[in-house]
Amino acid sequence: MKIAIIGAGASGFMAAITAKEKNKHAEIDIIEKSKRALIKVKISGGGRCNVCNNILSTQKLIKNYPRGGNKLKKSFQQFNVNHTINWFKKRKVNLKIEEDKRMFPESNTSQTIVDLFLKSAKKLDIKILYNNKVELISNLENKVKLKINGKDKYYDKVILACGGIPTISGYNWLKPLKLKILNPVPSLFTFNLKDKEITFLKGISIKNVTAKIKECKNKQSGDLLITHWGFSGPAILKLSAWEAENLAIKNYNFKIQINWISSNYEETLKNLANTKKSKKLLDNYNPFRLPKRLWNYLLFKINVNNKLEWCNLSKKNTNKIINTLVNDEYEIQGKTTFKEEFVTCGGISLSEIDMNTMKLIKFNNIFAVGELLNIDGVTGGFNFQAAWTTGFLAGKNCVNTNISN
């Protein structure tokens, strides 16, 4: 049995190794258009590789996927976070859990993961064909024909694992399969501010902020980082993922509402009752535990004198402070995407996929995995988990001769 895996990324290697371990007689080629494998694995997580997230409940896990979560439920029943941890442990790579449940190799370097996959592929005699671009795919009666660098090659099974493709034209090579392709747009990106005034606070991180796009329903909470171009951090990245399609329609020009203290007006007013009896200066005391420089900037922004004593604060100024804390507003003009965080939503519609096997419903011999599908997770290891799960299922089932439509 000859198997081609198109793409030398996380899901492709997982599929290749799984298939070969299930069927040692299978001949497996990983076909990669560039000169390197596992590029995203190498640079992800700041060079540490955020392998997965220690959320063990499938019901809770799927809530971290803006697209594909419900469909992944079937897949996670067969290969979940526990399976991932044990898969790596069995191969002598132990993972550690950090405070936010993100999991990394104990070595603290992504090279450990890269080496594991490359050495495993070599040991199993899996061939990696670099600088080989698949230009067209055609399904014949019993074979799959791939046009690679202008030449035709034939395989018994093919697994599509080439990652997210940023433009709809990038899917043209799949046209003969007549699949439903959803327009790809970026997910996981930071926001560029139109007015850069607040960016003099670059480097300041604020805990437990709630952010929302004006005129959109979704709210996301977490840390927010002020950068030299705008806003970043988990709250922003999560929001960008959940609102990816809406923000693309808006051409990344929109207003963001920030609740700096993740509270509401009434509760904040109530909590200020004792503070307003104090003779302390606003400059020296903020009961919200905000970084002092941010606190003073917000007072400056709304023209409230920070040398006032709390007990002398007028009702009007109290209202201005609370409204700014719970509903601050900034205009966003553009986005910034980093290589290590680059994720797309869109791609092959999940209506084309049997999520139990990752087989294309129309064909018995073609499978699709990873970011090529309309699946994307928020930051924190969720996209890699989807890659391990879908890759494992495709690898396992592509050597199963009992699978049929």
Q: Which domains does the chain have, with CATH numbers?
A: 2-185+338-398 (3.50.50.60), 190-336 (no CATH)
The answer to whether the predicted template modeling score (pTM) of the entire model surpasses 0.95 is no
CA neighbor of 238 nearest in space, from 203, 308, 194, 187: 187
Q: Are 42 and 111 in contact (CB under 8 A)?
A: yes
CA separation for the pair 127, 121 (Å, rounded) = 7
CA separation for the pair 387, 161 (Å, rounded) = 9
Residue 405 is predicted with a pLDDT of 47
Residue 199 token pair: 């960016």
* Strand ordering across the sheet containing 151-155: 134-139, 144-148, 151-155
CA separation for the pair 249, 352 (Å, rounded) = 25
Residue 404 is predicted with a pLDDT of 53
CA separation for the pair 143, 357 (Å, rounded) = 19
CA separation for the pair 165, 147 (Å, rounded) = 19
* Alpha carbon separation from 85 to 10, 188, 302 (Å, rounded): 15, 25, 50
What string of H, E and C letters represents the secondary structure of the chain?
A: CEEEEECCCHHHHHHHHHHHHHCCCCEEEEECCCCCCCHHHHHHHHHCCCCEECCCCHHHHHHHCCECHHHHHHHHCCCCHHHHHHHHHHCCCCEEECCCCEEEECCCCCHHHHHHHHHHHHHCCCEEECCCCEEEEEECCCCEEEEECCEEEEECEEEECCCCCCCHHHHHHHHHHCCCEEEEEEECCEEEECCCHHHHHCCCEEEEEEEEECCCCCEEEEEEEECCCEEECHHHHHHHHHCHHHHHHCCCEEEEEEECCCCCHHHHHHHCCCHHHCCCECCCCCCCCCCHHHHHHHHHHCCCCCCCEHHHCCHHHHHHHHHHHHCEEEEEEEEECCHHHCEEEEEECHHHEECCCCEECCCCCEEECHHHECCECCCCCHHHHHHHHHHHHHHHHHCCCCCCC
Residue in the structure block whose two tokens are 């747009």: 185
The number of angstroms, rounded, from the C-alpha of 77 to the middle of its chain's C-alpha atoms is 21
Within the chain, which residues score under 70 in pLDDT? 339-341, 403-405
Largest CA distance in the chain: 84
Residue 298 is predicted with a pLDDT of 98
Q: For residue 386, how many C-alpha atoms fall within 13 Å in the half-sphere facing its CB?
A: 33
CA separation for the pair 219, 84 (Å, rounded) = 30
Residue in the structure block whose two tokens are 């139990």: 356
Q: Are 110 and 49 in contact (CB under 8 A)?
A: yes
Residue 141 is predicted with a pLDDT of 84
Q: Are 136 and 176 in contact (CB under 8 A)?
A: yes
Residue 203 is predicted with a pLDDT of 98
* Alpha carbon separation from 172 to 32, 135, 158, 176, 359 (Å, rounded): 17, 9, 17, 9, 20
Residue 162 is predicted with a pLDDT of 95
Residue 371 token pair: 């970011």
